[in-house]
Each structure stands twice: as C-alpha cells, then as structure tokens.
Amino acid sequence: MTEILIQKAYKEVKKYRNMVKNDPYRLNYHLMPPVGLLNDPNGLIQFKGVYHVFYQWNPFETAHGAKFWGHYTSEDMVYWREEPIALAPDEWYDQNGCYSGSAVEEDGKLYLFYTGNVKRDDGTRETYQCIAVSENGIYFKKLGPVLKLPEQYTPHFRDPKVWKKGDHWYMVVGAQTLDEKGIVALFHSNDLFHWEEAGTIAGSDMNGLKEFGYMWECPDLIHLNGKDVLLVSPQGLNPDGDFYQNLFQSGYFIGELDYEPLRYQHGSFTELDRGFDFYAPQTFTDENGRTILYAWMGITDEMEAHQPTVENGWVHALTIPRELELQGGKVFQKPVEELKKLRKDQALVKNNEFEAVSAELILDFKKNGPFKITFRNEASLSYDTAKLTLKRRNLKTGEAESRTCKLASVSKLHIFMDHSSLEIFINDGEEVFTARYFPDSENVIVSFEGEAEFTLIKWDLG
C-alpha cells in the first residue's frame, strides 16, 4: 500500500515536471511543490548541521486533499535538494492526510510529530497525533498515534509543535472546544511517547481576550529575548479597520508562561504580516541560536483556484526564511543573512524606472514623504506619510484590492521580488507585506514617483 501510493505520487511528479518547470510564474528562490499543491511548512529543524523543511503536499491535485509531507534539505537555506517523500497518508490513522506538525531531535534521531486525519463515510472526522522516526533524517518509519483526542475538544484538534525544556518535553496543539472556541492546549511527556494534558494556555474568551475565533491552527510557542511568544493562526476573526483583512490570520501574543501551576499571561494579538498571502507560520531554533520562521505564502480561500499557476499543475510556495527578534514589545522579521548568497550584479539605481523581476531592493530613505512604487504594472506600494498600502489585482475579479498599515515613518524598505511574489520588509522588519502577484512576463519595469528621497541598491537574485 505504502509503496503504491508513493510510486503514484512520484509518477505524477515525473509526468508534469516539465510543464511545471516551464511555468513563467515558477519562482526562482522560493520552495514550491514539484507538482500539485503546497501549504504549511512542517517539521522545520537543523539536524546534524542540515536544514530540513517539510511541507504539506497534495501531489495529485492543485486543491486540498489527503496531504503528504514533502521534504527539502539544505546546508544554507539557499540551495535546496528535493528529498524522498517523508510521509504518505496510507495508515488507518492518517488515511485522509498526514497533517501539519513539527520535528525534534533526540538521541541522534529525528522525530516527526504530525496529525493523522481520518474522515469517516458519514463526514465526521477523527484526529490522531502521531510520531515517525528517522536515523538519517531522510527515511522515516511511522510509529503510530501517541495522543488521542481529549473529550473536551471537537476533532478540530491538530498541528502538534513539540519542544524540550530541561529534560521534559512539551507539545502545543491547536484545538476547538465543544462550544466552538479556538484554543491552544498544552501537553507534557518524559519520553516523547506518553503524553498528559497540562491544560489550556490561551484561546478565545481566555486570559482577558474576548471572542477570538472558532479554531486556532498551527500553534508555536517560542522563547524570544526572555519572553514566551505564542504564534498561532486563528480562524473566524472579523475584519477590523486595517486588521484581519484576509480570510484567516496569523499572529502572536507576547507573555510569560509558568508551567507550575500552568498559567500564560499575555498581551494582545499582533498580526505577523500585513499582506495578502501569509499563513500557518512555523519557527525553529538553528544551531547558531537564531529563531527562524517560514510561512505558507498563501492561504485557504476562494482565490486559490484562481491562481494562474493552477493550469500548469502547481500552486503555492513558502516564504523566504526570516529571522525573528523581539524589539520594544514587537516581533521584528528580517530575511536571513544567507540569502545574500543569491545576490549578483549590484547596482546603485539613480533612475525612477528600472528593470527587476527576481531581485532584491534596499531603499534607505533620506527624506520622508509620500511615494508610490509600481511593480511590473501589477502591484504597487504607496505611502501618504501616515499609511502604507499594498495594492494588487484580485485574482478572481481582476479589480484592485489593497492591504493597509499605519506607519508614522518609513526609513527603510527591503524588498524581495520573485517572478510572482513580493516580500516587503519595512523599517528593518517592523512590518512585512507578503503577496503573490502575477504580472505579464513581458513587463519588467519597476517605477517610482513621489517626494520621498532615498538611495536604492538593487541586486538580481540568481
């Protein structure tokens, strides 16, 4: 069974590889599925010096379905190898998807934690938190479920993120209470295999938070500059001014977690990204102690099916890796240093118009003022000295749509352009706008207008 399903997936990759590769919207330096649909980054880890990125993958369709774990490895997070499929949905406990999860190292072995998703014929769902192990980080052996659904939650219970503190293991799981509130549940274990519930650490209607969504996906609890930061992707928030404009959100709470007795005191929710395409982020700590984040550069919504890459057999990508830092009560994100390896042909740009397709731009502002940057006639970033606005064409209707964020000043823009993506880091990562966009491949012009003055350095990214 296992072999047959995996062989079927490889056959699909082989059959469509050329079509996928020749898509003009294929990205140059982002991780993408070889064919089919990619969503969440999973199992991020640096294991024995090598960076591992796994991802939610449906090799058979450009739609969601019974997910596999695809797998890439790298020495530097810049140049990647495509590895054999890590997990395929072929056991009774994961037959409708090896859903999202995380990775840890113990005794020189790599352990994956993931959610086994099962859909019964009557449409109801079962969920099992499962474990798989590998000696070499490439071939994984499934060891089956280690945690069953506790009775106080609905089967929307998934995405285990595991970490070690002292000699004890902890796991956060995204969950829904029986009265349909999104929460994060904490479990602990001595040995990775036997888990006990410690309690609920945060959620809708908890810790002073009001109603805050019907389900919280992909929790990640990290220690950042002395604080306990909970990253989570809540579903069911209504748009509120400039906030929560996408169908689902991803953001964080900053606080302090006491384990005994269990209590997480935290502040308000802050969105990690202000653009259109960012969801289900996950972090890991690398061997240099950096906290690095990847997210899905996409989101589950009605627009997915309208992405033009669908007709070429693939859809979605991951963001570039971003290093996290806590500064003045805010999580700052900056592209990891290693990405500098991609740079070639440095240019100091003096014109208001230049060519850029797959490029990195750094704008250092000398004089604040309104400006507008137009990217390949398909997206624009404009600033009116109070608000920054990213516009693009809606994939379904073709009309302009925008995302806006209040900003008192813009001192720096660090922009990563790829064939069909934009990642814009503002003021050294104080805010980030991430978006897919699909310009005409003939149109390669980026242009500026406005009163702001800046120096601009550009590199093509190879």
Residues found near ligand FRU in the complex (CB under 6 A): 39-40, 56, 67, 99-100, 115, 158-159, 217-218, 279-280, 300
Whose Cβ is closer to ligand FRU: residue 176's or residue 382's? 176
Q: Which of 161, 263, 176 is closest to 216 using CA atoms?
A: 176
Q: Quote the CA–CA distance of 34 and 14 in Å, as a whole number.
A: 9
> Where are the strands (E) in 321-461, listed by range?
322-327, 330-335, 343-349, 353-355, 359-367, 371-375, 379-383, 387-393, 400-406, 412-418, 421-426, 431-436, 445-450, 453-461
Catalytic residue among 23, 40, 191, 428: 40
Whose Cβ is closer to ligand FRU: residue 158's or residue 419's? 158
205 a catalytic residue: no
Sign of the CA dihedral running 55, 58, 393, 457:
positive
3-state SS, residue 41: strand
For the bound state, the minimum distance from the C-beta of residue 101 to ligand FRU, rounded and expressed in Å, comes to 8
For the bound state, the minimum distance from the C-beta of residue 64 to ligand FRU, rounded and expressed in Å, comes to 6
Whose Cβ is closer to ligand FRU: residue 296's or residue 375's? 296
For the bound state, the minimum distance from the C-beta of residue 115 to ligand FRU, rounded and expressed in Å, comes to 5
Query: Are 232 and 219 within 8 A, CB to CB?
Result: yes
For the bound state, the minimum distance from the C-beta of residue 193 to ligand FRU, rounded and expressed in Å, comes to 21
Whose Cβ is closer to ligand FRU: residue 66's or residue 206's? 66
Query: Are 290 and 450 within 8 A, CB to CB?
Result: no
Whose Cβ is closer to ligand FRU: residue 280's or residue 363's? 280
Which residues have a Cβ under 8 Å from the Cβ of 282 and sit 6 or more positions away? 40, 41, 42, 44, 100, 102, 161, 218, 220, 231, 293, 294, 295
Q: Which of 64, 142, 100, 62 is closest to 294 using CA atoms?
A: 100
Query: Known catalytic residues?
Result: 40
